[in-house]
């Protein structure tokens, strides 16, 4: 598939400033966790809990919060959870979903159309575009061009990022922080440990920054990674500016015993230029039942998934999954509820 120059999208990181939520989600692009503050997250948590209750208890399928609205999915990278949870969320809300038949590889992208044009074409037909793209800054670029489009067409389309390369994955961070709140009833005072590929992992970039945006009090974030896969310095600085205590180590045992939230991640094979480098590092951190045995009895084990060998063998997976501390399927389900709340809020249909 033709692929535009990386720098093409990256320059929009400085050229386009995403709107702050400031208590009002309506019509706003969702492209970075930096748009959110503590109050916005509390609003989203409340809305998510309310929607989950409505969907799972009484009026299942009877939500009409986005009736008559259209969501398009535009995924230039592989996805299972993000794509399907967004689609399920929109349908549960009473909205409709459109996607290019046979995926983006058979759309005009195949003819060499650039992102700026494709996203505006989709914005002519859909109220919300969920975009996953391999280039950092691609969602900023989409937001920039959709704002230009808004003055020309009847719709006021918004873009929601489903991940921009090694940059950010804001909605994953929203569901992750909600899941922490769901199990621990607070974000303040926690000891949170992020493990694995902190260099390339967009989920951990966004989650770490969102904990800082929440302005969590007395919270410690531990980064556990081999030297070659450390968290970018810019993210660490972002946390320190918000007085989040940060600890970096390459030895999980330094922090595991005091951790409330363990966030495990996959080594992002597709982001390595040299396969030998990936092979040398891929087995550095493996979560197995004997490793989990050293964790607190009330700790939770999270993972954005998909998983490969960073959670051992399929037999290890089964054993870990049976441990009550493993919450990644609940985390995954929460993804749909959080995305429902977000879609309803952005499309302006939600009261809470
Ligand atoms: C993650 C992603 O795509 O960044 N997956 C997801 O959205 N749940 C994590 C990963 O691919 O490792």
DSSP string, 35-86: G--HHHHHHHHHHHHHHHHHHHTS-TT---TTTT-EEEEEESS--SHHHHHH
36 vs 350: CA distance, rounded Å: 18
90 and 196 together in one domain: no
Distance 192 CA to ligand 1 centre (A): 19
Q: Which residue has the tokens 């969602």?
A: 139
- 352 in a structural domain: no
Residue whose Cα lies nearest atom 11 of ligand 1: it is 306
So what's the pLDDT on residue 64? 85
Give yes or no for residue 305 CB within 6 A of ligand 1.
Answer: yes
- Residues whose CB falls within 8 Å of the CB of residue 83, separated by 6 or more in sequence, listed in order: 73, 75, 130, 132, 162
Ligand 1 contact via 203 beta carbon (within 6 Å)? yes
Query: Per the domain annotation, does 129 fall within a domain?
Result: yes
Tokens of 162: 């489903």
Contact predicate 264/311, CB 8 Å: yes
Q: Select which of 48, 66, 73, 82 is catalytic.
A: 82
> Whole-angstrom Cα distance, residue 331 to residue 57?
19
Q: What is the reported pLDDT for 105?
A: 72
Helix axes 202-213, 170-184, angle to 10 degrees: 60
Q: Say if residue 39 is in the same domain as residue 148.
A: yes
CA of 305 to the centre of ligand 1 (A): 6
Phi, psi (rounded to 5 degrees) for 194: -105, 130
Sheet holding 261-264, edge to edge: 245-249, 220-224, 191-195, 261-264, 300-302
DSSP E strands, the chain: 70-75, 96-99, 128-133, 158-164, 191-195, 220-224, 245-249, 261-264, 300-302
Report CA(8)–ligand 1 centroid distance (Å): 23
Contacts of 155 (CB under 8 A, 6+ apart): 123, 124, 125, 126, 127
pLDDT in tens, 9-50: 999 999 999 999 999 999 999 999 999 999 999 999 999 999
Question: Residue 141: which domain range?
Answer: 6-169+335-346
Indicate the top mutation candidate among 87, 172, 265 to test ligand 1's pocket, ranked by most ligand atoms within 8 A of CB: 172
Residue 112 has what pLDDT? Answer: 86
**63 and 98 both lie in a single domain:** yes
81 given a catalytic annotation: yes
> Is the Cβ atom of 206 under 6 angstroms away from ligand 1?
no
Does 57 reside within a domain?
Answer: yes
Instruction: Indicate if 34 and 53 belong to the same structural domain.
Output: yes
What is the separation of C-alpha 56 from the centre of its chain, rounded to a whole number of angstroms? 23
**Residues 280 and 295 both lie in one domain:** yes
How many separate domains does the chain show? 2
Is 111 among the residues known to form the active site? Answer: yes
CB-based contact 25:345 (threshold 8 Å)? yes
pLDDT of residue 59: 61
Q: What stretches in the chain show pLDDT beneath 70? A: 1-7, 58-62, 106, 349-352
Q: Is residue 1 one of the residues assigned to a domain?
A: no
Q: What is the CATH number of the domain that holds 13?
A: 3.40.50.1370
- Give residue 111's pLDDT: 80
Q: Indicate whether 315 belongs to any domain.
A: yes
Residue 310: the pLDDT is 97
Shared-domain flag, residues 320 and 342: no
């Amino acid at each position: 598939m033709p692929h535009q120059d990386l720098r093409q999208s990256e320059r929009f990181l400085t050229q386009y400033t995403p709107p702050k939520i400031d208590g009002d989600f309506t019509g706003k692009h969702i492209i970075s966790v930096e748009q959110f503050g503590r109050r916005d997250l509390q609003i989203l948590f409340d809305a998510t809990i309310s929607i989950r209750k409505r969907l799972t208890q009484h009026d299942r399928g009877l939500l009409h919060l986005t009736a008559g609205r259209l969501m398009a999915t535009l995924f230039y990278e592989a996805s299972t959870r993000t794509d399907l949870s967004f689609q399920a969320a929109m349908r549960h809300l009473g909205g409709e979903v459109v996607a290019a038949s046979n995926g983006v590889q058979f759309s005009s992208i195949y003819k060499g159309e650039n992102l700026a044009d494709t996203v505006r074409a989709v914005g002519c037909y859909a109220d919300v575009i969920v975009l996953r793209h391999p280039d950092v800054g691609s969602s900023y670029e989409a937001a920039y061009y959709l704002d230009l489009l808004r003055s020309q067409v009847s719709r006021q389309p918004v873009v929601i990022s489903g991940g921009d390369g090694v940059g950010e994955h804001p909605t994953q961070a929203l569901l992750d922080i909600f899941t922490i709140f769901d199990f621990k009833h607070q974000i303040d005072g926690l000891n949170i440990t992020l493990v694995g590929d902190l260099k390339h992992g967009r989920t951990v970039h966004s989650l770490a920054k969102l904990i800082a945006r929440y302005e969590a009090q007395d919270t410690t974030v531990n980064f556990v990674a081999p030297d070659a896969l450390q968290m970018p310095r810019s993210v660490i600085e972002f946390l320190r500016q918000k007085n989040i205590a940060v600890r970096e180590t390459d030895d999980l045992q330094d922090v595991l015993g005091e951790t409330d939230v363990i966030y495990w991640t996959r080594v992002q094979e597709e982001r390595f230029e040299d396969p030998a480098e990936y092979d040398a590092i891929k087995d550095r951190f493996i979560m197995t039942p004997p490793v989990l045995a050293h964790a607190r009895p009330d700790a939770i084990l999270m993972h954005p998934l998909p998983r490969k060998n960073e959670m051992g063998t399929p037999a290890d997976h089964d054993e870990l999954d049976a441990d009550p501390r493993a919450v990644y399927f609940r985390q995954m389900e929460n993804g749909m509820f959080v995305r429902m709340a977000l879609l309803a809020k952005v499309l302006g249909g939600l009261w809470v």
